[in-house]
Copies of this chain bind each other. A is one copy, B any other.
Amino acid sequence: MAKVDTSLVAHLPLFAGVKPEDLEEILREARSARYPKNSAIFEQGADAQSFFLLLHGHVRAAKTTPTGEQIVVRYVAPGETFGLAMAIGAARYPATAIAVDDSVALIWPTSAWPRLIERFPSLAANTLQTVGTRLQESHTRILEMSTQQVEQRVAHALLRLAKQSGKKLDHGIEIDFPISRQDIAQMTGTTLHTVSRILSGWEQQGLVESGRQRIILRDPHGIVVLAERSPDSGAA
């Protein structure tokens, strides 16, 4: 097991208020692992034996219905935690985590959590903050799904992805990991067909440039305008 350099993670929200020597102790309990592109990190319903801190790459968390339909819960960016089932008192993972790019994560055994938060209460407070923020974001997503049309929801989704994992280009922002029409559909509650039609339209208007699992926002501001447009204030 490789030693983890504290300086790489010390600034993360998870460790806010944790003293350097404590951080080292915390990291000693972790191991790190590499996940190749498209490999599963854990499966929905499996025993929640570990929780994770993503160091490199990108991870998709998805939830599947009994009938096989999926939604994307979120994309995890480097520096974020995932698989925190134990923090919420769940014995099993509520979603599946897949590395969408070659990824590296720190891994703690779930069993270590109670001891860790007892010794380092900041961890609990910080995690509460994180989970609370995600709850807010979920509510926003519900609000959008309830009140907005598909095109606006797709616009919001892309803007969020760009903010979280956007790579600045000379002219535009590229989403920095492979993402398909289907993925976006599963983030916005629609079908890949509808997403494809929307992106085709945007491409013709010069708002985006996209291809196989690749999206570049050529005119982010124009997409913001779309995202905020009221349902009927229509284009041609």
Partner of A134, one of B117, B135, B186: B135
Partner of A145, one of B67, B136, B145: B145
- Least CB distance from A51 to B in Å reads 12
Taking a contact as CB atoms under 8 Å apart, the answer to whether B136 and A94 are in contact is: yes
Q: Roughly how many angstroms separate A143 CA and B71 CA in the complex, as a whole number?
A: 6
Q: Is the interface of A mostly helix, strand, loop or mixed?
A: helix
Interface string of A109-135 (1 = CB under 8 A from B): 000000001100100110111011111
Report B-chain residues with C-beta under 8 Å of the C-beta of A139: 63, 73, 94-95, 138
For chain A, give the interface size range.
35 or more
List the interface of chain A (C-beta within 8 A of B): 63, 65, 67, 69, 71, 73, 84, 87-90, 94-95, 117-118, 121, 124-125, 127-129, 131-136, 138-139, 141-143, 145-147, 186, 189, 230
